[in-house]
Amino acid sequence: MVSPGLSRLLRRFEAVAILLASFALAAFVVARRSQVEHALGTLGWFAMPLAALVFAIVASAPFSVTDALAIMNGVLFGPVWGSIINAVGLVLAAIIGYLVALRTSDAFDVRKNVERLPGWARRFRIGSPMFLIVVRVIPGLGGTIATQTAAALRVPMVRQIYTMCVVAVPICTVLAIFGDAASDYIDARFVQPTRAFAERHHIRFPHRREHRFPERFETPPVTRP
């Protein structure tokens, strides 16, 4: 049987590992943007729902860290479509997380977990919209506790969705815009000068094609025999 101290340590290790892995993935996408865009381009318009589904699955998991994925969607799809994909993914994540929490809510002690919250969060009635919103603002376990509480109290699904989105959508929108701007900045200040230097010294690098949605995700032409 795992001791409570070791269990807390393992949860913290898991959270740190997920955080590092997600940002490592985002860094890879920024560094290999053209290759990732080309791979997604072979999927055509299916790339958008696929990205939203991946975002939803990650965002609905306990202790999830979606910041890196929100940035990545901004890098790949641009600020507008990246923000839309993030928003759709968050709505799906709210639904998925709520349905999963309904099946595990019997093991969730609402009173015990609420007592662990800061005093300013406990001022609101448990399960009320303001309670769910302010709890989601708490980094780390806030989102998980809010979803588990909503499921345990059987609050309406609509309340689960809008209390999650009112907090997460603005943040993910800012991150998508930041991801697009940061990628363009890195490309202009580092990638392009490096390629220019390589061309002057006859060093060959894979050519990076300019892409902008939706042109970069056009459906590949069908070849007829």
Model confidence pLDDT, tens digit, residues 35-87: 766 677 777 788 899 889 888 888 887 766 688 889 889 988 999 999 999 99
Residue 100 lies in a domain: yes
Residue 214 lies in a domain: no
Chain Cα centroid distance, residue 137: 16
Cβ atoms < 10 Å from Cβ of 137: 12
* Residue 182: domain span: 26-202
Residue 187 lies in a domain: yes
Interacting residues of 46 by C-beta distance below 8 A, sequence separation 6+: none
pLDDT at 200: 75
Residue 16 lies in a domain: no
Q: Which two tokens stand for residue 52?
A: 């939203």
Residue 117 lies in a domain: yes
Residue 6 lies in a domain: no
pLDDT at 21: 67
Residues of the chain below pLDDT 50: 207-213
Residue 95 lies in a domain: yes
Q: What are the b/e assignments for 96-129, b being 16+ CB within 10 Å?
A: bbbebbbeebeebebeebbeebeeebeeeebbee
pTM: 0.72
Number of folded domains in the chain? 1
Cα 155 from Cα 126, distance rounded (Å): 11
Residue 213 lies in a domain: no
pLDDT at 210: 47
